[in-house]
Amino acid sequence: MKVGVVTFPGSLDDRDAQRAVRRAGAEAVSLWHGSHDLEGVDAIVLPGGFSYGDYLRCGAIAARSPIMTEVIAAANAGLPVLGICNGFQILVEAHLLPGGLIRNNHGDFVCRDQRLRVENASTAWTNGFTVGQEITIPLKNAEGGFIVDAETLKRIEGEGQVAFRYLDVNPNGSLDDIAGLTNAGGNVVGLMPHPEHAIEPGFGPDTPDAMRSGTDGITFFTSVLQSALARA
């Protein structure tokens, strides 16, 4: 199984996402923003970072890059796509997910180990979790406040499109504590926290068991392997 990780100019967590893909047991394929070739991958990760320097609006320029034309078409045809942080912003700008992400309500960049509750465990990227499961993965952003109009909010809440909610602390003022979303098909998932930073003992968040031992993030990547196997 091949999982593509797109590198835009200003992508930062692309190599981390590739590591996560490899640790989950898949092959990581580097995709280039200026290309139209998805190289036959079975799933795609849009990694974190500051694509195009966050100029205009976070994710706005990347959403219009050559590779995204192909990603949008593939996503609409059911290909699993995960957007992490800046990748989530790109998915929103590309209208693959609803709403928008604005400056954190406190105004600053924040990096912290964030607890989340899994709200939807039937997407391509979350099927290894159970609904209501509480996980901890790092969060690090300055523009993570989720906004959406009231009508859409009601719809996505009603249709189970909220994939993750912040627990204990809402770190950025997101509506309804929303940390991540999925589309109606369950193949596209976007979230602000970074699962690729919680995949390897020793380099993840602290847990009750040991320092830096949190690996809750790996389930995102094993989930997509499972869903690919199920489809095959």
Partner 1 sequence: MNALVDSVATAEATPEKEQPYAALGLKADEYQSIRDILGRRPTSGELAMYSVMWSEHCSYKSSKVWLRQFGEKVSPEMTKNLMVGMGENAGVVDIGEGWAVTFKIESHNHPSYIEPFQGAATGVGGIVRDIISMGARPVAVMDALRFGAIDHPDTARVLPGVVSGISFYANCLGLPNIGGETWFDPIYQANPLVNALAVGVLRHEDLHLANAKGAGNKVVLFGARTGGDGIGGASILASDTFSAGGPTKRPAVQVGDPFAEKVLIECCLELFAGDLVKGIQDLGAAGISCATSELASNGDGGMQVSLDEVLLRDPTLTAEEILMSESQERMMAIVEPDKLEGFLAVTRKWDVETSVLGEVTETGRLIITWHGETIVDVDPRTVAVDGPVYNRPLSYPTWMDALNADSAEKFLRPSDGATLREQLLTLIGSANLADKSWVTSQYDRYVMGNTALSYPDDAGMIRVDEESGLGVALATDANGRYAYLDPYVGAQLALAEAYRNVAVTGATPVAVSDCLNFGSPENPEVMWQFSRAVEGLADGCLELGIPVTGGNVSFYNQTGDVPIHPTPVVAVMGVIDDVGRRVPSGWQDSGDNLYLLGSTHLELDGSAWAGVIHGHLGGKPPKPHLTREHDLAELLSAAAHEGLLNAAHDLSDGGLATAVVDASLRFGIGARIWLDELLERDQIDPLTALFSESGARVIVAVPREEDVKFLRLCEGRNYPVARIGVTDRGADGAGADLEVQDLFTISLKELRTASRATMVEHFGAVVGYAADLSGSGIHRAPGGGRISE
Residues forming the active site: 85, 194, 196
Asked if 168 is part of the footprint of partner 1 (rule: CB under 8 A), the reply reads yes
As beta bridge partners, residue 7 has 32
Instruction: Kindly write out the interface string for residues 213-232 of this chain, putting x where it contacts partner 1 by CB under 8 A and - elsewhere.
Output: x-------------------
8 Å CB contact between 92 and 101: yes
Give the whole-angstrom CA distance, residue 76 versus residue 145. Answer: 26
Binding partner 1 (rule: CB under 8 A), the pick from 108, 130, 150, 151 is: 108
Among 2, 15, 64, 165, binds partner 1 (CB under 8 A): 15
Q: What is the DSSP letter of 49?
A: B
Q: How far is the CB of 76 from partner 1 (least distance, A)?
A: 29
Find, among 97, 146, 157, the residue nearest to 125 by Cα: 97
Q: Tell me which of 56, 73, 131, 169 binds partner 1, using CB under 8 A.
A: 169
Distance (Å, whole) CA 211 – CA 154: 39
Q: Tell me: does residue 211 bind partner 1 (CB under 8 A).
A: yes
Nearest CA to 135 among 181, 89, 168?
168
Interface mask (CB under 8 A) for partner 1, residues 51-90, using x and -?
A: -xxxx-----------------------------------
Tell me how far apart the alpha carbons of residues 116 and 42 are, in angstroms, rounded to a whole number. 27
Per rule CB under 8 A, is residue 160 in the interface with partner 1?
A: no
Closest CA to 104 of 125, 89, 124: 89
Q: Closest distance between partner 1 and the C-beta of residue 25, in Å? A: 14
Q: Which stretch binds partner 1 (CB under 8 A): 13-21, 70-78, 150-158, 176-184?
A: 13-21
